[in-house]
Amino acid sequence: MGVRFGQYIRMGAAGVKLKVMPPVITRAADVRRGVWLEYFTIGYNSLEAVIALSAGVLAGSVALVGFGLDSVVEVTSGAALLWRLRGDDVSRRATREARALKFVGACFLALAAYVAFEAGETLLLQHAPERSPVGIALAAVSLVVMPFLARAKRGVAARISSAAMHADSRQTDFCAYLSAILLAGLLLNALLGWWWADPLAGLAMVPIVGREGWNALRGKSCSTCGCN
């Protein structure tokens, strides 16, 4: 007897009954999960931006200010993904997917450009920030939160075949990497006086971020997530 979606079917003599959900219902649930993940991204990164920018200005930390601006980029990317997910019907899906992917790519390149400028300026001016316990705590919290958020986004991206959301998950990954870089830089500066550790690590991130942005702008999807 054929399986009919949305109805109960009997499996063998054991009498076990399962309910098979239609693919459209499963996709709708994944899209709703993606929407909530983007709402969390926007909320968390808005708070992160306010704290990082305020602490950065008070401590004279270029790295903290840069981290705050990265959070602004994350909010912008999250808003683009919300727009994409809100138009998930078949008639609009492909168009919104392409536009959102390019927008996220532009956010990547903007982030890479700023990190390069910030790191280069810090090295040239030999700018050593003041100690910032608030910045250290913020970087530590983000280092814990961002990997879980990125993994959740990748799971949704794979299930709904969204290259744009996968690109957004990569941007969340970079937020985690930058959190680690920021934490290391602030700690090394506070404990050992190594002011140059932060900008050097930031420069190492630039080609990776730039490559992801360029690929997204060209409409390239990932080869491992099943996105089209």
* DSSP secondary structure string for all residues of 32-47: HHHHHHHHHHHHHHHH
Backbone φ and ψ for 10, nearest 5 degrees, come out as -95, 135
* pLDDT band, residue 25 (cuts 50/70/90): low
The string of pLDDT tens digits covering residues 66-115 is 788 888 878 887 888 888 777 666 667 677 777 777 887 888 788 788 88
Specify the CATH number for 24-217; select among 3.90.550.10, 3.40.50.720, 1.20.1510.10, 3.10.20.90: 1.20.1510.10
Read off the amino acid at residue 201: A
pLDDT over 50 at 31, yes or no: yes
How far apart (Å, rounded) are the C-alpha atoms in residues 96 and 170? 19
Count of other CB atoms within 10 angstroms of residue 57? 12
The whole-number pLDDT of residue 42 equals 93
pLDDT over 70 at 172, yes or no: yes
pTM for the whole structure = 0.72
Give the percent of the chain with pLDDT over 90: 17
Domain boundaries, given as residue ranges, for the chain: 24-217
The whole-number pLDDT of residue 2 equals 45
The string of pLDDT tens digits covering residues 189-218 is 888 888 887 788 778 778 877 887 788 788
